[in-house]
Amino acid sequence: MVCLPAFSIQSESNTMRFFVTFALLPAAYGFSASDHTGAVKTEAPSLLLGPGSIDKIAQGGVAIEHNWLPPDLVKSLRADAMDLFHAGQFQPDGLTNTARSKSEQGFTPKADRQTFRGGAGWSSDVGNAAARKEFADRMRSLRNELAAGLDRPTLEPEGTIKHEMTYNWYEPGAKLGRHLDEHHEETKGTKGWRYPTRRSVTWLVYLNDGWATNEGGALRCFPRSDIELSTSAQVGAHRGNLQVGWLNGKDPVFLDCFRPSGGSALYRLASAKSRGIELLSSADFDVPRQPIDFAQFMASQYRGSFQQISTSRLDPRFVSADGTTNAAVVAPPMTQESSTLDIVPAAGTLVLFDSVSLPHQVQPVTSNRQRIAATGWFHEDSQFVMES
């Protein structure tokens, strides 16, 4: 039997909980270590992605590959999604306030996104299973390429909850508010640290034939400006600590919740090529319940230049149970974003970005037809998993 390294802490309910660090698991279990110096890795030769795509993702931008999926496969997947929808295999799946249950949030087919993962599942034998398998094989090759190019080795292994793949369906008038696809586990309260993996890279492949700009439904992303993207600092995570904000619009700010003190701290990398870090918080602190404002913990000299990625006003997953800030799902004033990028959901287009650092939303569909896409997330290992 292989023993897993672990330690314990005292929870609010006085129940002992145990954390296992996957970074220490042996290679025989499919986990491997990496340098994690903080520098963006030089892009490896690409088979499925064009020049610059890997670096774009690593720096917090959006990689767009037009005509990436062969037309015949686009056609097969679109037909499959439509057949599955009419067979009742989709369910409403809007943005979830994690402090409240889904049944309390009133998702509807007309106003919200619907997903196939609420039905039989991508690998089931319903519909055109052969087309979905062909697509899954192509996405597996893409995932392996990203694992090497982004220096995220635990993206590569398969697993029961390792990766997510689904169809998205938007009726005319439906939309999806501004959000992030992944947050630091410590900000999720009692729902944090439950799973051994977390979302790392978000991907979308559009299936809409002949979709025009005036039909709406654009994917609106809020990346940093080109000048800010020129930084070579890694985004998303550093040594397993997930990013929660930016300093001066260019330096990722990470949350370390396993300090020797038992508290948490905010920090940035001392330099892109250095192993050193610079603490930004005035003192170690306990992460409060939602809604969370990390600026209150920043040292005074950094507070004015700190920008939190998700706040209760900008993301429904970052609010309290009373839902008083849910109206903020609407996009923030443009003056608060360094840049905006609208992507038309044209057939065959592949979009990729870091799941932790890039806010995005789906604009209302103004067409009289449905907006259809294959979407999902490639996972990498979490820092720890909690066991009761």
pLDDT band (50, 70, 90) for residue 15: very low
Tokens representing 326 are: 């849910």
Q: pLDDT by residue (tens digit) across 321-368?
A: 555 443 333 333 333 556 899 999 999 999 999 999 999 999 999 999
Q: How many residues does the structure list for the chain?
A: 388
Note the pLDDT of residue 387.
66
The DSSP result for 30-67, as a single string, is T-------SBPPPPPP-SSS-TTHHHHHHTT--EEETT
Which residue ranges does the chain devote to CATH 2.60.120.620?
61-223+339-381
Q: pLDDT by residue (tens digit) across 63-80?
A: 999 999 999 999 999 999
Q: pLDDT by residue (tens digit) across 141-181?
A: 999 999 999 999 999 888 767 789 999 999 999 999 999 99
The neighbouring-strand residues paired with 245 are 253, 308
Give me the amino acid identity at 231.
Answer: T
Burial category of 296 from C-beta neighbours within 10 Å (exposed 0-12, middle 13-18, buried 19 and up): exposed
Q: Which of 168, 207, 211 is nearest to 77 (CA)?
A: 207
Q: What angle do CA 164, 168, 174 make, to 5 degrees?
A: 140
Place of tokens 């007309």: 110
Count helices and strands (H / E) in the chain. Answer: 5, 20
Contact yes or no for 242/254 (Cβ under 8 A): yes
Q: Which of 149, 184, 170 is nearest to 217 (CA)?
A: 170
- Distance of alpha carbon 124 from alpha carbon 353, whole angstroms: 27
Q: pLDDT by residue (tens digit) across 255-301?
A: 999 999 999 999 999 876 667 999 999 999 999 988 899 999 999 99
Q: What are phi and psi of 28, to 5 degrees?
A: -60, -20
- Distance of alpha carbon 258 from alpha carbon 388, whole angstroms: 18
Q: pLDDT by residue (tens digit) across 84-119?
A: 999 999 999 876 444 445 555 455 878 899 999 755
pLDDT band (50, 70, 90) for residue 229: confident
Dihedral, 144, 146, 152, 154 alpha carbons, nearest 10? -30
- Distance of alpha carbon 281 from alpha carbon 303, whole angstroms: 9
User: Is the pLDDT higher at 192 or at 10?
Assistant: 192
Q: pTM for the full model?
A: 0.82
- Farthest CA pair distance, the chain: 60
Burial 144-160 (b: 16+ CB within 10 A, else e): bbbbbbbbbbbbbbeee
Give residue 240's region: left, alpha or beta (phi > 0; psi -120 to 50): left
61-223+339-381: CATH architecture = Sandwich (2.60)
Q: Which of 316, 280, 317, 276 is nearest to 295 (CA)?
A: 280
